[in-house]
Amino acid sequence: MADNDFPGWHGTTIIGVRKGGKVVIAGDGQVSLGQTVIKGTARKVRRISPGGYDIVAGFAGSTADAFTLLERLETKLEATPGQLQRASVELAKDWRTDKYLQKLEAMLIVSDGKDLYVITGAGDVLEPEHDVTAIGSGGNYALAAGRALMDTDKDAEQIAREAMAIAADICVYTNGNLTVETISA
């Protein structure tokens, strides 16, 4: 089978919502290979505590690649405790320049409760303009729904859950089995 014939792994939607002094990162549990759901209960949102500071991270893309990036982020945070922005920028620099890391196919949403970033392999560390960001197969659906819900009375967790439900209704690579982590500044 040629590389371009391989159906590829799909099936992640991760959303990050910052509202009311809290950040919520939520992710679905679906992993698909082509048209087949391989697993419906994957946990793609994690809480880590490098250097004694809590960080919540959600990942989309290849699981092995994402865990490699999470480990690298944890190392950067241990070297710069409590400085998520600096650690994220350092990770993005390494990711862009290191030949091994350049091959990784994943993206991260990370937060320390105050800051919220998307880290990409293109060397980007992006802070969302409207306090909502999303990645993965259903990311655009979750992002649109989340932004539409931001002007309501709903809190960050309600917005994240409802946006993920909308994404799961639209995207065949997203399910409703959520992992939700909340972190405060």
Q: Residue 12 catalytic?
A: yes
Of 12, 13, 133, 182, which is the active-site residue? 12
CB neighbours of 71 closer than 8 A, spacing ≥ 6?
Answer: none
Q: Cβ distance 23 to 182 under 8 Å?
A: yes
Q: How far, in Å, CA of 181 to CA of 116, rounded? A: 13
Q: What are the helix (H) ranges across the chain?
A: 63-79, 84-97, 139-149, 156-170
Q: Cβ distance 15 to 146 under 8 Å?
A: yes
Q: Which residue type, as a one-letter code, is found at position 6?
A: F
Q: Which residues are catalytic?
A: 12
